[in-house]
Amino acid sequence: MAGYRNDRISEDIKRELCDIFRDLKDPRVKDKMLSIVHLEVSNDLSFAKVSVSAIEGPEASTEAVKGLSAAAGFIRRELGSRLKIRKVPELKFKASDSIAYGARISKQLEQLIKDNKDNDE
C-alpha cells in the first residue's frame, strides 16, 4: 500500500516541479526547455533524485542542473507550500541526455527505413 502513496506523491512532485521550473528567474534555467525524465523518491520521503534533460542538448541540461541546485532551497519551499505534505524531500538534481539520445535513435530509425525502401526498389 505504501508504494502507491509514494508513486502518487512522486507524480505530484513531478507536476509541481515542472510548474516551478517555469517560474525560476535564474538565467541558467529560464531560457531552457527542461523535461523531468525520472523522479525517484525514497520510501520515507526524505530524498528525491530528479533527472533533468534539456532539448538544447546535454551541455544545456548540465548548466540547468547547476542553476537548479543553486535554487534547491527555494524549490523545496515552493513544493511544501503547493503540496501541503508534512515532509518535503531534499532535492538532488542530475543531468540526463535522454532527449538527445531519443532524437539520435529516431534519426537512425528513419535512416534504416529509408535504406530499406531504397533496397526494395
Q: What one-letter code names the amino acid at 120? A: D
How many CA atoms, within 13 angstroms, populate the side-chain half-sphere of residue 65?
21
- Between CA 106 and CA 55 the distance in angstroms is 14
1 pLDDT tier (thresholds 50, 70, 90): very low
Is residue 25 within 8 A of residue 7, CB to CB? The reply is no
Beta bridge partners of 49: 40, 92
Compute the average pLDDT of residues 30-59. Answer: 90
pLDDT of residue 3: 66
Q: Is 93 helix (H, G, I), strand (E, B) or coil?
A: strand
Instruction: Specify the CATH superfamily of domain 2-120.
Output: K homology (KH) domain (3.30.300.20)
57 pLDDT tier (thresholds 50, 70, 90): confident
Global pTM reads 0.78
Q: Residue 98 above 90 pLDDT? A: no
Query: Nine-digit cell at 44?
Result: 520515507
Which sequence spans correspond to the domains of the chain? 2-120
